[in-house]
Amino acid sequence: MSTKIATWNVNSIRSRLERLLAWLKKAQPDILCLQELKATDEAFPHEPIRQAGYHAAVFGQKTYNGVAILSRIEPSHIERGMGDGEEDPQARLLAAQIGPGHVITAYVPNGQV
């Protein structure tokens, strides 16, 4: 049995919520990694995601950052940031155990010099 995994730079979860929910219904991935949420953990739309049949692990931030892992199986062993014990001021890396696998989502924007 294969696992369907997708990733999407959503560029604002609140602005794209209806499109995201429609896509989840159509594509039915087992796991979806999201980047650039532009929403805090509290502002993340947990209930509509849950109603669509997904659990959400979220590392949110108000501005340009924020990542999430949506999964049909509840994620465990969730790690925010690099896992090095340092506080991560930019919400760009999230890892979780999903079933027997380990999933990591990262938001790595193109830097400007």
- What is the C-alpha separation between 15 and 102, in angstroms, rounded? 29
- Please give the structure tokens belonging to residue 11: 């560029």
Query: What's the whole-model pTM score?
Result: 0.92
- What is the C-alpha separation between 105 and 58, in angstroms, rounded? 10
CATH architecture type of domain 5-106? 4-Layer Sandwich (3.60)
Domain boundaries, the chain: 5-106
pLDDT tens for residues 47-103?
Answer: 999 999 999 999 999 888 999 999 999 999 999 987 777 777 788 899 999 999 999
